[in-house]
């Protein structure tokens, strides 16, 4: 299916690398006008060089004042927004809950959950006013299962699903849809960092942890960033116009929680 989003105005948070970068590229290829924000200055500059059509802003989306400035920039550039992709997130600590430092807990919740609220509250009035558009929030397979040694990350990703369903109820009568995507183990640097951290915590080898992540899926495979981007694009397309309030896994059917 060829998806045409010509002229649509899209904001992708944490869009300069990983899933966000692939997603932003997919929207550009579909004809959308794309604004990318990220906290990583170097990654953002590299992305701008690669995709000069995209607009960029360095932003910590866990900071309310920074989000207000971001939406001012987006509004000035695009005179509004059609789709918000709340992709920002961090892995947080790999530790038992009693060993998780309060500061690490707070930062993980701030980046993974508060950012979706802060951006959503600014986007929603614009979406409702035009009676069109949507929000895609990035949850995780961790939003559907419990995972040992990942309590703040799991808590945030479960909360994202509840937030998404509530936004869908609040926005549905305005023709605005809100969905969450729940990726499984996604290939890339972020998963590599998680596996390294788990290896240190558990004393197991990185190879055995990686093998477990694959074993615990029906398709015996990792997910690619493109798999996630493709679903995001579909949910924002005309084909997805009646899909809202859903938490949709892209996880090769993950059927066993990590222990």
For residue 218, count CB atoms less than 10 angstroms from its CB and return exposed for 0-12, middle for 13-18, buried for 19 or more: exposed
179: burial class by Cβ within 10 Å (0-12, 13-18, 19+)? buried
Tens digits of residue pLDDT in 77-136: 999 999 999 999 999 999 999 999 999 999 999 999 999 999 999 999 999 999 999 999
| Whole-number pLDDT of residue 178 | 98
Superfamily of domain 9-185+224-250: NAD(P)-binding Rossmann-like Domain (3.40.50.720)
Least confident of 45-49, 143-147, 159-163: 143-147
Of 30, 54, 27, which is closest to residue 43 (Cα–Cα)? 54
**Concatenated DSSP letters of 153-165:** HHHHHHHHHHHHH
3-state secondary structure of 137: strand
Residue 258: its pLDDT value, please? 46
pLDDT digits (tens, 9 = 90+) for 8-31: 999 999 999 999 999 999 999 999
**Active-site residue set:** 153
DSSP string, 61-101: TTSHHHHHHHHHHHHHHHSS-SEEEE--------B-GGG--
Which pTM does this prediction carry? 0.95
Distance CA 194, CA 258 (A): 12
Structure tokens belonging to residue 32: 């959308």
> Which residue in the block uniquely carries the two structure tokens 């949507």?
134
């Amino acid at each position: 299916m060829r998806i045409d989003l010509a002229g649509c105005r899209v904001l992708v948070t944490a869009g300069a690398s990983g899933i966000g970068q692939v997603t932003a590229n997919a929207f550009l290829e579909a004809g959308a006008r794309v604004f990318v924000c990220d906290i990583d200055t170097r990654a953002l500059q590299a992305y701008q060089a690669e995709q000069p059509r995209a607009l960029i802003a360095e932003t910590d989306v866990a900071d309310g004042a920074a989000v207000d400035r971001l939406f001012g920039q987006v509004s000035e550039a695009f005179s509004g927004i059609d789709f918000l992709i709340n992709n920002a997130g961090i892995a947080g600590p790999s530790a038992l809950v009693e060993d998780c430092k309060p500061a690490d807990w707070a930062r993980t919740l701030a980046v993974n959950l508060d950012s979706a609220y802060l951006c959503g509250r600014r986007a929603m009035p614009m979406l409702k006013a035009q009676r069109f558009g949507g929000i895609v929030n990035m949850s995780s397979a961790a939003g559907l299962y419990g995972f040992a040694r990942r309590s703040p990350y799991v808590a945030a990703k479960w909360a994202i699903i509840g937030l998404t369903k509530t936004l869908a109820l609040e926005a549905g009568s305005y023709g605005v849809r809100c969905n969450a995507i729940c990726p499984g183990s996604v290939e890339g640097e972020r998963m590599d960092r998680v596996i390294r951290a788990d290896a240190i915590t558990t004393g197991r080898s990185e190879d055995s942890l990686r093998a477990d992540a694959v074993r615990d899926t029906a398709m015996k495979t990792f997910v690619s960033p493109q798999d996630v981007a493709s679903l995001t694009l579909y949910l924002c397309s005309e084909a997805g116009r009646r899909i809202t309030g859903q938490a949709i896994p892209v996880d090769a059917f993950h059927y066993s929680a990590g222990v």
